[in-house]
Amino acid sequence: MTSLDKGVRREKQVAVRELDLMHEAIDAGDLKNAMYHKIIANIAIDEMVSVSKFVEKG
């Protein structure tokens, strides 16, 4: 597994974890914290897509 593949996998794990935390915050009624986790998840998803596009071109 290349370092780029590891980067995609790592970002995917971060995105999934942050989305889980977002759902927990929503269930707890903590919408401010939910928005925080949503932002972090979106950043991780953007990074995952960027890295995977780089892998495809390589």
pLDDT at 58 over 70: no
Split into its structural domains, the chain has a count of: 1
36-55 CB burial, b ≥16 within 10 A, e <16: ebbebbeebbebbeebbeee
Minimum mean pLDDT range among 10-14, 31-35, 52-56: 52-56
| Cβ-proximal residues to 18 (8 Å cutoff; 6+ apart), any chain | 37, 38, 40, 41, 44
Look at residue 30 in the predicted model and tell me its pLDDT: 98
pTM greater than the 0.85 cutoff: no
Give the domain extent around 47.
3-57
